[in-house]
Amino acid sequence: MHLPLGLPEPRPVPPGQYSAWDRALALLNRDLAATLPGVEPLRLFALPADDPNEPEYVFVALSNGEWHGSQLDPDSRATPAAALAAVADAAQETVMELLWQAWPLCPEHGLGMHPETDAEDQVSWWCAGARSRSGSAHVHRAVGELAAVSTPLPPARP
């Protein structure tokens, strides 16, 4: 009798191992705390890659170690903006699929927002809802800034 070969157990990633993703996740967790206060902060979990010569797979998971979606692209650690965009995408996938809700929501339109990186490497939550007259999508806030006190948004850059 053999026990069935189990999948490897996901390993909680200790702080500091992937500092670029840690910093990005700290910003994401600020937004999570601001918008879903009942949800524990997200964490990084890792699994060995199928090919032992490849870097391990790292995921953005709920505090219980469950995630949904693909692993973080190892190349996204190259810049803070790339790390933040990758972690925001992964966090959004995990929250939406496992908590069954669009997140984060634009308070103006009630639509789920998506992380976008602008030409200056600022990663922000974008809403597809149209503002009156302008008729185009809008940036709600920088990722990590959803908790900021509500102030009128600055005029769009020309």
Exactly one of 91, 127, 143, 146 binds Zn ion (CB under 5 A); that residue is 127
Q: How many residues bind Zn ion (CB under 5 A)?
A: 5
State the nearest-atom distance from the C-beta of 37 to Zn ion, in Å: 21
In the complex, least distance from residue 114 CB atom to Zn ion, rounded to whole angstroms: 11
Distances (CA, A) of 108 to 30, 50, 146, 154: 20, 44, 13, 15
69 binds Zn ion (CB under 5 A): no
Does 130 help bind Zn ion (rule: CB under 5 A)?
no
**Minimum gap (Å) between residue 106 Cβ and Zn ion:** 3
Interatomic CA distance for residues 148 and 155, integer angstroms: 17
**Contact yes or no for 142/120 (Cβ under 8 A):** no
Residues in contact with Zn ion by CB under 5 A are 106, 108-109, 127, 129
